[in-house]
Amino acid sequence: MDNREKPSVGLAIETSCDETGVAIFDSSKGILANLVSSQVKLHAPFGGVVPELSAREHVKNINPLLEEALRQANIDWKDLDYVAVTVAPGLILSLVVGVAAAKAIAHAYKKPLVPVHHLEGHIYSAFLEKVEKNPKEEEPIKYPFLALIISGGHTELYYVKGFSQYQTVGQTLDDSVGEAFDKVARMLGFPYPGGPHIDRLAQKGKASIKFPTPRVKGEYNFSFSGLKTSVLNFIRKNPSYPKEDIAASFQKKVAEILAEKTFKALRDLKLNRLVVVGGVAANSEIRKVFKEKAQQMGVELYIPSLKYATDNAAMIAYAGFLRWKRKGFAPLDINASPNYPLEKFGKDWS
């Protein structure tokens, strides 16, 4: 009997940036363990992630997290059906730690190794809650849909036709939206990562400043570097302006830009399903604006809960499950790649 027909248990490792993540997904029960060891404090004094420090921290954390995940899920290595791992994109030194650990487990316990693209993990994070509410419904995803990925490293729109079928619709031409949040937060005196600080501060402020909408080449492309400069110029000219109003005005403008392009793409591509994912999808104003617009336009919207929006391994475990079911195993000489476009990855591994 093909063991892909039975309920399965998969382990996932995510080390693409500064969070060490280990998760276990049971296809009949949902996520059994989801551990994230954050390095925020380690990198904060440097104002950003220091690649070498990040890799060293992953090496230190990975084994204790693996042991703890198995303990929480109450399973043994031999119970695993597959080992999924983020192979791209990200900081190469960090990715390599997770890939090496996953290969060691796959080799020692003779388990299939399933490669997952970090952005694919983010996309499928949107469905994790639905899966958890009804674990028996293995693939509660209707295609096609549009995916907006907004994170520290990416701001991209994809047309998702089916599993592993990703077509780029738009992308940022300069800064990612997460970078813009982090840089504006820094201007206002907050440590890295600044997004959550802006979000909290903005809740106490008024969006009283009208920052200009950037002109961008390409209907569905984004640009945030001009907006960041407008905020910087405003702060220089108005040093005593209330910070909470600057944060609220910036955040509102970002939500407006993202929503305008995304809903235009939905209309033009005649899609009525939307997924909004990535660390910045944790932002309260963005969540609010997208929920309102989706309701107005009759669009089915999927946004992950906060714990699945920022980097985690649960999303890698679920995307890994979807690939494992389709026999998407990798040979043990697969490498980690710092740059690997999602569209190409999807084609190579479909």
Query: Do 70 and 62 touch, CB atoms closer than 8 A?
Result: no
Cα separation, 180 vs 106, in Å, equals: 39
Contacts of 150 (CB under 8 A, 6+ apart): 176, 177, 178, 258, 276, 277, 278, 279, 280, 281, 286
Q: x/- contact string, 282-301, with ligand KG4 (CB under 6 A)? A: xx------------------
* Burial class for 275, CB neighbours closer than 10 Å (0-12, 13-18, 19+): buried
CB of 308 to ligand KG4, least distance (A): 10
Which part of the chain contacts ligand KG4 (CB under 6 A), choosing from 22-30, 42-50, 126-134, 176-184?
176-184
Phi/psi zone of residue 160: left (φ > 0), alpha (ψ -120 to 50 degrees), beta?
beta
Site membership for ligand KG4, residue 123 (CB under 6 A): no
Which CB, 279 or 346, lies closer to ligand KG4? 279
Which CB, 287 or 293, lies closer to ligand KG4? 287
Site membership for ligand KG4, residue 115 (CB under 6 A): no
In the list ligand KG4, Zn ion, none, the entry touching 193 (Cβ below 5 to 8 angstroms by class) is: ligand KG4
Residue from 98, 196, 328, 346 touching ligand KG4 (CB under 6 A): that is 196
Site membership for Zn ion, residue 311 (CB under 5 A): yes
Query: Do 39 and 18 touch, CB atoms closer than 8 A?
Result: yes
Q: Report the relative pairing of strands 9-14 and 19-26 from DSSP bridges.
A: antiparallel
Query: Do 120 and 154 touch, CB atoms closer than 8 A?
Result: no
Site membership for ligand KG4, residue 14 (CB under 6 A): no
Sign of the four-CA dihedral 314, 318, 324, 329: negative
In the list ligand KG4, Zn ion, none, the entry touching 172 (Cβ below 5 to 8 angstroms by class) is: none
Site membership for ligand KG4, residue 193 (CB under 6 A): yes
Question: What is the CB-side half-sphere exposure of residue 46 using CA atoms within 13 A?
Answer: 12
Cα separation, 1 vs 162, in Å, equals: 27
Write out the binding residues for Zn ion, residues 189-218 only, by CB under 5 A: none
Which CB, 91 or 207, lies closer to Zn ion? 91
Write out the binding residues for ligand KG4, residues 151-170 only, by CB under 6 A: 151-153
CA distances from 225 to 177, 212, 240, 280, 333 (A): 9, 12, 23, 16, 39
In the list Zn ion, ligand KG4, none, the entry touching 89 (Cβ below 5 to 8 angstroms by class) is: none
In the list ligand KG4, Zn ion, none, the entry touching 214 (Cβ below 5 to 8 angstroms by class) is: none
Write out the binding residues for ligand KG4, residues 31-90 only, by CB under 6 A: none
Query: Do 270 and 182 touch, CB atoms closer than 8 A?
Result: no
Which residues here bind ligand KG4, judged by CB under 6 A? Answer: 17, 151-153, 178, 181-182, 193-196, 199, 278-280, 282-283, 310-311
Which residues here bind Zn ion, judged by CB under 5 A? Answer: 151, 311
